[in-house]
Chains A and B, each alone.
Chain A
Amino acid sequence: MPPAEPLEPFESLVQLAGQGDRAAASRLCERFAPAVRSFARRRLVATEAVNEFTQDVMLVLVEALVTKKLEQPERLPGFVLGICKNLARDRARQRERRAALFDEYAAALASLTPEVTEKPTYEILHLEDCLTGLSQRARDVVRLAFGEAKSHGDIARELSLSEGNVRVLRHRSLAALRDCMSRRISWEAA
Chain B
Amino acid sequence: MSDASSTDPPDALGALDALGALDDYTSGLMPEADAEAFEEGLFARAARGEAAEADFTESLRRGAEWINRRGSFEVGSTRAQVDQLLASGARITYMDFGDCKQPVDIPPLAPDLELFIYRVGVDLRGEDYDTIDVVVETATGEYIKTFRDVRYDTTDGAFYGVCEAPLAEISFRRGTAISKVMIGRGTERRHVATLETRPLASAR
Q: Which residues of A come within 8 Å of B, CB atoms? A: 7, 9-10, 31-35, 37-39, 41-42, 47, 76-78, 80-81, 84, 114, 117, 119-120, 123-125, 127-140, 142-143, 145-149, 151-152, 167-181, 185-189
Whether a CB of chain A sits under 8 angstroms from the CB of B19 is yes
A-B pair number, CB within 8 angstroms = 214
Minimum CB–CB distance from A157 to chain B (whole Å) comes to 15
Stretch from B23-31, B93-101, B117-125, B187-195 forming part of the interface with A: B23-31
Residue B22 interfacial (CB < 8 Å): yes
Q: Are A41 and B149 in contact, with the CB atoms below 8 A?
A: no
Q: Are B68 and A143 in contact (CB under 8 A)?
A: yes
* CB of B102 closer than 8 Å to a CB of A: no
B110: A residues at CB distance < 8 A: none
Known: A38-B22, A42-B26, A139-B73. A10 touches B54 (CB 8 A): no
Contact A145 B27 (CB under 8 A): yes
Q: Which of A31, A132, A138, A189 has the most CB of B within 10 A?
A: A132
CB distance from A91 to the nearest CB of B (A): 18
Contact B5 A173 (CB under 8 A): yes
CB pair B51–A34 under 8 Å, yes or no, is: yes
A57 CB to closest chain B CB, in angstroms?
11
Q: How far is the CB of B90 from chain A (nearest CB, A)?
A: 10
A185→B8 contact, CB < 8 A: no
B20 and A129: CB pair below 8 A?
A: no
Residues from chain A with a CB closer than 8 A to the CB of B47 are 10, 31-32, 76-77, 80
Output the nearest chain B residue to A73 by Cβ-Cβ distance. Answer: B47
B63 near A127 with CB under 8 A, answer: yes
| Neighbour of B173 across the interface among A42, A147, A187, CB < 8 A | A187
Q: Are A134's CB and B148's CB within 8 A?
A: yes
Chain B residue nearest to A175 in the complex (CB): B12
CA distance A167 to B29 in the complex (A): 9
Say which size band chain B's interface belongs to.
35 or more
Q: Is the CB of B148 within 8 A of A136?
A: yes
B72 with A187: CB separation less than 8 A: no
How far does the Cβ of A78 sit from chain B's closest Cβ, in whole Å? 7
Q: Mark B1-34, 1 if CB is under 8 A from A, else 0.
A: 1111111110011001101101111111100000
By beta carbon, the residue of chain A nearest B11 is A175
Knowing A152-B28, A170-B23 are in contact, say whether A125-B46 is a contact too (CB < 8 A): no
B3 touches A132 (CB 8 A): no
Per-position contact with A for B36-78: 1 when CB-CB < 8 Å, else 0?
0001101111111101001111111111111110001111000
Kindly report which residue of chain A lies nearest to residue B131, judged by CB atoms: A135
Residues of B near A135 (CB, < 8 A) are 1-5, 148-149
| One of B6, B40, B57, B164 near A128 (C-beta < 8 A) | B164
Contact of A186 with B43 in the complex, beta carbons under 8 Å:
no
A39-B39 Cα distance, complex, nearest whole Å: 8
- Give chain B nearest CB distance to A10 CB in angstroms: 4
Q: Are B62 and A176 in contact (CB under 8 A)?
A: no
Please determine whether A35 and B51 come into contact, CB atoms closer than 8 angstroms: yes
Cα–Cα distance between A175 and B14 once the two chains are bound (Å):
11
Chain B residues within an 8 Å CB radius of A125: 164, 166-167, 170
Determine whether B145 belongs to the interface, using a CB cutoff of 8 Å to chain A: yes
Q: Closest approach, in angstroms, between the C-beta of A129 and any C-beta of chain B?
A: 7
- Give Cα A143–Cα B48 distance, bound, in whole angstroms: 31
Cβ distance A150 to chain B, nearest Cβ, rounded Å: 10
Whether A81 pairs with B43 at a CB distance below 8 angstroms is yes
A residues near B146, Cβ cutoff 8 Å: 133
Note all chain A residues with C-beta closer than 8 A to B171: 187
Question: In the bound complex, do residue B49 and residue A31 qualify as a contact, i.e. CB atoms below 8 Å apart?
Answer: yes
